[in-house]
Amino acid sequence: MTNLPSANSGKSALEIAITAVEEAGRILLAHFGSKIQVKHKSKGNLVTDADILSEKFILEFLQDEYPDFDILSEESNSSTSLSGFAWIVDPLDGTNNYTFGIPFFCINIALVKDRDILLGVTYDPVRKELFHAEIGRGAYLNESQIQVSKESSLQSSLVGLDLGYSQERGEEMLQVANRLWGQVHCLRAMGSSSLGLAYVACGRVNLYLHRYLFPWDIASGLLLIREAGGEVTDWQGRPANFRDTEIIASNSQLHREFLAQFGQKQKPE
Protein backbone atom coordinates (compact mmCIF):
# COMPACT_ATOMS: atom_id res chain seq x y z
CA MET A 1 0.00 0.00 0.00
CA THR A 2 1.35 3.42 -1.02
CA ASN A 3 1.94 5.65 1.97
CA LEU A 4 -0.42 8.52 1.37
CA PRO A 5 0.68 12.07 2.11
CA SER A 6 -0.79 13.53 5.31
CA ALA A 7 -3.16 16.48 5.22
CA ASN A 8 -2.22 20.01 6.32
CA SER A 9 -3.87 19.30 9.68
CA GLY A 10 -1.65 16.20 10.10
CA LYS A 11 -4.60 13.83 9.67
CA SER A 12 -4.56 10.88 7.26
CA ALA A 13 -6.23 10.98 3.86
CA LEU A 14 -8.80 8.46 5.10
CA GLU A 15 -9.65 10.60 8.14
CA ILE A 16 -10.06 13.62 5.89
CA ALA A 17 -12.34 11.77 3.45
CA ILE A 18 -14.46 10.42 6.31
CA THR A 19 -14.80 13.83 7.99
CA ALA A 20 -15.80 15.32 4.63
CA VAL A 21 -18.54 12.77 3.86
CA GLU A 22 -19.93 12.88 7.39
CA GLU A 23 -20.22 16.67 7.38
CA ALA A 24 -21.69 16.59 3.85
CA GLY A 25 -24.17 14.01 5.16
CA ARG A 26 -25.29 16.49 7.86
CA ILE A 27 -25.80 19.14 5.18
CA LEU A 28 -27.89 16.77 3.03
CA LEU A 29 -30.03 15.62 5.97
CA ALA A 30 -30.65 19.23 7.07
CA HIS A 31 -32.34 19.90 3.72
CA PHE A 32 -33.91 16.48 3.11
CA GLY A 33 -37.69 16.72 2.84
CA SER A 34 -37.72 20.53 2.66
CA LYS A 35 -38.44 22.68 -0.38
CA ILE A 36 -35.21 23.14 -2.25
CA GLN A 37 -34.32 24.57 -5.61
CA VAL A 38 -34.17 21.90 -8.33
CA LYS A 39 -32.75 22.32 -11.84
CA HIS A 40 -32.91 19.92 -14.78
CA LYS A 41 -29.52 19.11 -16.31
CA SER A 42 -30.93 16.67 -18.90
CA LYS A 43 -33.77 14.16 -19.11
CA GLY A 44 -34.26 12.64 -15.67
CA ASN A 45 -31.06 14.28 -14.40
CA LEU A 46 -31.49 16.84 -11.62
CA VAL A 47 -29.24 19.02 -9.53
CA THR A 48 -30.52 20.57 -6.31
CA ASP A 49 -29.25 23.23 -3.93
CA ALA A 50 -28.36 20.35 -1.60
CA ASP A 51 -25.96 18.87 -4.20
CA ILE A 52 -24.34 22.30 -4.52
CA LEU A 53 -24.05 22.97 -0.77
CA SER A 54 -22.62 19.53 -0.13
CA GLU A 55 -20.12 19.94 -2.96
CA LYS A 56 -19.07 23.43 -1.84
CA PHE A 57 -18.27 22.16 1.64
CA ILE A 58 -16.37 19.08 0.41
CA LEU A 59 -14.28 20.93 -2.16
CA GLU A 60 -13.28 23.73 0.23
CA PHE A 61 -12.40 21.22 2.92
CA LEU A 62 -10.31 19.02 0.60
CA GLN A 63 -8.57 22.05 -0.93
CA ASP A 64 -7.63 23.36 2.52
CA GLU A 65 -6.23 20.02 3.58
CA TYR A 66 -4.60 19.01 0.29
CA PRO A 67 -4.03 22.17 -1.80
CA ASP A 68 -1.88 20.32 -4.37
CA PHE A 69 -4.32 17.53 -5.22
CA ASP A 70 -6.56 17.76 -8.30
CA ILE A 71 -10.31 17.39 -7.82
CA LEU A 72 -12.89 15.95 -10.17
CA SER A 73 -16.37 16.64 -8.84
CA GLU A 74 -19.74 16.18 -10.50
CA GLU A 75 -21.34 19.61 -10.18
CA SER A 76 -18.38 21.93 -10.65
CA ASN A 77 -15.90 22.73 -13.36
CA SER A 78 -13.08 21.30 -11.33
CA SER A 79 -10.01 19.73 -12.86
CA THR A 80 -10.49 16.84 -15.26
CA SER A 81 -6.84 16.25 -16.13
CA LEU A 82 -6.25 14.32 -12.92
CA SER A 83 -2.50 14.28 -12.81
CA GLY A 84 -0.82 12.85 -9.74
CA PHE A 85 -3.05 12.53 -6.68
CA ALA A 86 -6.67 13.47 -7.32
CA TRP A 87 -9.93 13.40 -5.39
CA ILE A 88 -13.06 12.22 -7.18
CA VAL A 89 -16.24 13.49 -5.53
CA ASP A 90 -19.97 12.87 -5.85
CA PRO A 91 -21.56 15.26 -3.33
CA LEU A 92 -24.93 13.49 -3.59
CA ASP A 93 -25.47 10.20 -5.36
CA GLY A 94 -29.16 9.44 -5.76
CA THR A 95 -30.37 13.00 -6.38
CA ASN A 96 -33.67 11.73 -7.80
CA ASN A 97 -34.33 9.64 -4.69
CA TYR A 98 -33.37 12.64 -2.54
CA THR A 99 -35.62 15.05 -4.43
CA PHE A 100 -38.66 12.76 -4.28
CA GLY A 101 -38.16 12.10 -0.54
CA ILE A 102 -36.83 8.54 -0.86
CA PRO A 103 -34.22 8.12 1.89
CA PHE A 104 -31.67 6.20 -0.18
CA PHE A 105 -28.72 8.31 -1.25
CA CYS A 106 -25.07 8.78 -0.36
CA ILE A 107 -21.88 10.80 -0.75
CA ASN A 108 -18.72 9.43 -2.43
CA ILE A 109 -15.12 10.46 -2.16
CA ALA A 110 -12.24 8.53 -3.72
CA LEU A 111 -8.55 9.29 -3.90
CA VAL A 112 -6.79 8.18 -7.08
CA LYS A 113 -3.29 8.39 -8.47
CA ASP A 114 -3.08 7.91 -12.22
CA ARG A 115 -5.23 4.80 -12.83
CA ASP A 116 -5.08 3.46 -9.26
CA ILE A 117 -7.84 4.01 -6.74
CA LEU A 118 -6.11 4.39 -3.38
CA LEU A 119 -9.07 4.91 -1.10
CA GLY A 120 -12.81 5.09 -1.35
CA VAL A 121 -15.50 6.28 1.04
CA THR A 122 -19.25 5.98 0.47
CA TYR A 123 -21.54 7.31 3.20
CA ASP A 124 -25.27 6.79 3.68
CA PRO A 125 -26.21 9.56 6.14
CA VAL A 126 -29.75 8.25 6.72
CA ARG A 127 -28.56 4.90 8.09
CA LYS A 128 -25.22 6.24 9.30
CA GLU A 129 -23.52 3.56 7.24
CA LEU A 130 -19.96 4.39 6.30
CA PHE A 131 -18.31 2.13 3.71
CA HIS A 132 -14.59 2.58 3.31
CA ALA A 133 -11.64 0.85 1.70
CA GLU A 134 -7.96 1.51 1.26
CA ILE A 135 -6.02 -0.38 -1.37
CA GLY A 136 -4.61 -3.60 0.09
CA ARG A 137 -6.35 -3.13 3.45
CA GLY A 138 -9.81 -4.63 2.97
CA ALA A 139 -13.24 -3.03 2.88
CA TYR A 140 -15.34 -2.01 5.88
CA LEU A 141 -18.88 -1.09 6.79
CA ASN A 142 -18.51 1.06 9.89
CA GLU A 143 -16.11 -1.00 12.06
CA SER A 144 -16.73 -4.41 10.43
CA GLN A 145 -14.79 -5.90 7.57
CA ILE A 146 -17.09 -6.82 4.66
CA GLN A 147 -17.11 -9.35 1.84
CA VAL A 148 -19.11 -9.81 -1.33
CA SER A 149 -21.82 -12.49 -1.24
CA LYS A 150 -21.02 -16.15 -1.82
CA GLU A 151 -24.16 -16.67 -3.91
CA SER A 152 -23.25 -18.81 -6.91
CA SER A 153 -26.46 -19.04 -8.92
CA LEU A 154 -28.24 -16.31 -10.86
CA GLN A 155 -31.54 -18.07 -10.15
CA SER A 156 -31.21 -17.25 -6.44
CA SER A 157 -29.75 -13.77 -6.88
CA LEU A 158 -31.00 -10.33 -6.05
CA VAL A 159 -29.74 -8.21 -8.95
CA GLY A 160 -29.46 -4.44 -8.63
CA LEU A 161 -29.34 -2.12 -11.61
CA ASP A 162 -30.06 1.42 -12.70
CA LEU A 163 -30.96 2.97 -16.05
CA GLY A 164 -28.81 6.12 -15.95
CA TYR A 165 -29.29 9.28 -17.97
CA SER A 166 -28.67 8.05 -21.51
CA GLN A 167 -31.86 7.13 -23.38
CA GLU A 168 -30.05 4.57 -25.51
CA ARG A 169 -28.12 2.95 -22.66
CA GLY A 170 -31.25 2.92 -20.50
CA GLU A 171 -33.15 1.07 -23.21
CA GLU A 172 -30.32 -1.46 -23.52
CA MET A 173 -30.50 -2.03 -19.77
CA LEU A 174 -34.27 -2.52 -19.94
CA GLN A 175 -33.72 -5.22 -22.59
CA VAL A 176 -31.19 -6.93 -20.32
CA ALA A 177 -33.63 -6.64 -17.39
CA ASN A 178 -36.36 -8.15 -19.55
CA ARG A 179 -34.21 -11.19 -20.38
CA LEU A 180 -32.96 -11.49 -16.80
CA TRP A 181 -36.38 -11.28 -15.19
CA GLY A 182 -37.23 -14.98 -15.55
CA GLN A 183 -33.76 -16.11 -14.53
CA VAL A 184 -33.14 -14.37 -11.21
CA HIS A 185 -34.70 -14.25 -7.77
CA CYS A 186 -35.54 -10.54 -8.12
CA LEU A 187 -34.46 -7.24 -9.62
CA ARG A 188 -34.00 -3.86 -7.93
CA ALA A 189 -33.67 -0.43 -9.53
CA MET A 190 -31.67 1.18 -6.72
CA GLY A 191 -31.74 4.89 -7.61
CA SER A 192 -28.22 5.25 -6.21
CA SER A 193 -25.63 3.37 -8.22
CA SER A 194 -23.01 4.02 -5.55
CA LEU A 195 -25.08 2.43 -2.80
CA GLY A 196 -25.77 -0.40 -5.26
CA LEU A 197 -22.02 -0.96 -5.51
CA ALA A 198 -21.46 -0.60 -1.76
CA TYR A 199 -24.23 -3.17 -1.24
CA VAL A 200 -22.43 -5.59 -3.56
CA ALA A 201 -19.31 -5.07 -1.44
CA CYS A 202 -21.14 -6.04 1.76
CA GLY A 203 -23.10 -8.92 0.18
CA ARG A 204 -26.62 -7.41 0.31
CA VAL A 205 -26.84 -7.22 -3.50
CA ASN A 206 -25.51 -10.26 -5.37
CA LEU A 207 -24.87 -8.58 -8.72
CA TYR A 208 -25.06 -4.94 -9.83
CA LEU A 209 -25.27 -3.72 -13.44
CA HIS A 210 -25.04 -0.37 -15.14
CA ARG A 211 -24.35 0.87 -18.67
CA TYR A 212 -23.72 4.58 -18.25
CA LEU A 213 -21.82 5.75 -15.19
CA PHE A 214 -19.25 8.46 -14.43
CA PRO A 215 -16.01 8.33 -12.38
CA TRP A 216 -17.71 9.97 -9.36
CA ASP A 217 -20.39 7.24 -9.37
CA ILE A 218 -17.99 4.30 -9.34
CA ALA A 219 -14.48 5.15 -8.12
CA SER A 220 -15.22 4.42 -4.47
CA GLY A 221 -17.42 1.37 -5.21
CA LEU A 222 -14.81 -0.22 -7.47
CA LEU A 223 -12.28 -0.27 -4.65
CA LEU A 224 -14.86 -1.34 -2.05
CA ILE A 225 -15.85 -4.35 -4.14
CA ARG A 226 -12.31 -5.40 -5.02
CA GLU A 227 -11.19 -5.08 -1.41
CA ALA A 228 -14.25 -7.14 -0.42
CA GLY A 229 -13.12 -9.95 -2.74
CA GLY A 230 -15.40 -9.16 -5.68
CA GLU A 231 -14.99 -8.44 -9.33
CA VAL A 232 -15.88 -5.41 -11.45
CA THR A 233 -15.48 -5.47 -15.23
CA ASP A 234 -16.88 -3.79 -18.29
CA TRP A 235 -19.44 -5.70 -20.39
CA GLN A 236 -16.64 -7.34 -22.38
CA GLY A 237 -15.19 -8.80 -19.19
CA ARG A 238 -12.13 -6.51 -18.93
CA PRO A 239 -11.24 -5.25 -15.43
CA ALA A 240 -13.05 -1.94 -14.99
CA ASN A 241 -11.34 1.31 -14.12
CA PHE A 242 -12.99 4.46 -12.83
CA ARG A 243 -13.30 5.92 -16.33
CA ASP A 244 -15.41 3.02 -17.57
CA THR A 245 -19.07 3.80 -18.10
CA GLU A 246 -20.43 0.22 -18.24
CA ILE A 247 -19.93 -2.15 -15.36
CA ILE A 248 -20.77 -5.59 -14.07
CA ALA A 249 -20.05 -6.04 -10.33
CA SER A 250 -20.36 -9.24 -8.34
CA ASN A 251 -18.46 -12.16 -6.87
CA SER A 252 -16.35 -14.05 -9.41
CA GLN A 253 -18.71 -17.01 -9.84
CA LEU A 254 -21.90 -15.05 -10.53
CA HIS A 255 -19.93 -12.60 -12.58
CA ARG A 256 -18.78 -15.44 -14.83
CA GLU A 257 -22.31 -16.81 -15.19
CA PHE A 258 -23.74 -13.40 -16.07
CA LEU A 259 -20.96 -12.56 -18.51
CA ALA A 260 -21.34 -15.88 -20.34
CA GLN A 261 -24.98 -15.09 -21.09
CA PHE A 262 -25.08 -11.32 -21.37
CA GLY A 263 -21.51 -10.18 -22.04
CA GLN A 264 -20.59 -8.48 -25.28
CA LYS A 265 -17.84 -9.60 -27.61
CA GLN A 266 -14.68 -7.48 -27.55
CA LYS A 267 -14.48 -5.25 -30.59
CA PRO A 268 -11.39 -5.93 -32.77
CA GLU A 269 -8.65 -3.27 -32.13
- Residues binding Ca ion (CB under 5 A): 74, 90, 92-93, 217
Amino acid identity, position 103: P
Q: Element (H or E) spanning 194, and its range?
A: helix 193-201
Q: 76 or 147, CB closer to Ca ion? A: 76
Q: Element (H or E) spanning 180, and its range?
A: helix 167-180
CB of 173 to Ca ion, least distance (A): 16
Asked if 212 is part of the footprint of ligand IPD (rule: CB under 6 A), the reply reads yes
Q: 154 or 163, CB closer to ligand IPD? A: 163
Chain centroid to CA 162: how far? Answer: 12
Asked if 172 is part of the footprint of ligand IPD (rule: CB under 6 A), the reply reads no
Q: Which one of the spans 109-117, 119-127, 133-141, 212-220 is the region binding ligand IPD (CB under 6 A)?
A: 212-220
> For residue 86, what are the CA distances in angstroms to 70, 93, 221, 222?
4, 19, 16, 16
Asked if 234 is part of the footprint of ligand IPD (rule: CB under 6 A), the reply reads no
The interface partner of residue 244, options being ligand IPD, Ca ion, none and the CB cut-off 5 to 8 Å by kind, is none
Q: Element (H or E) spanning 170, and its range?
A: helix 167-180
The interface partner of residue 65, options being Ca ion, ligand IPD, none and the CB cut-off 5 to 8 Å by kind, is none
The interface partner of residue 61, options being ligand IPD, Ca ion, none and the CB cut-off 5 to 8 Å by kind, is none
Asked if 75 is part of the footprint of ligand IPD (rule: CB under 6 A), the reply reads no
**Which of 54, 105, 65 shows the shortest CA–CA distance to 87?**
65
Exposed (0-12), middle (13-18) or buried (19+): which is 256, by Cβ within 10 Å? Answer: middle
Asked if 165 is part of the footprint of ligand IPD (rule: CB under 6 A), the reply reads yes
Q: Element (H or E) spanning 199, and its range?
A: helix 193-201
- What is the rounded distance in angstroms from the CA atom of residue 74 to the CA atom of residue 64? 19
- What is the rounded distance in angstroms from the CA atom of residue 47 to the CA atom of residue 19? 23
* 55, 65, 124, 217: which one binds ligand IPD (CB under 6 A): 217
| Beta-bridge mates of residue 106 | 93
Residues 78-137 that bind ligand IPD (CB under 6 A): 90, 92-95
Residues 188-207 that bind ligand IPD (CB under 6 A): 190-194
Could you give the angle at the alpha carbon of 178 between the alpha carbons of 176 and 181, nearest 5°? 105
The interface partner of residue 165, options being Ca ion, ligand IPD, none and the CB cut-off 5 to 8 Å by kind, is ligand IPD
Size of the residue set binding ligand IPD (CB under 6 A): 17
**Which of 112, 119, 113, 111 shows the shortest CA–CA distance to 136?**
119
Q: 47 or 111, CB closer to Ca ion? A: 47
Chain residues binding ligand IPD by CB under 6 A are 90, 92-95, 162-165, 190-194, 212-213, 217
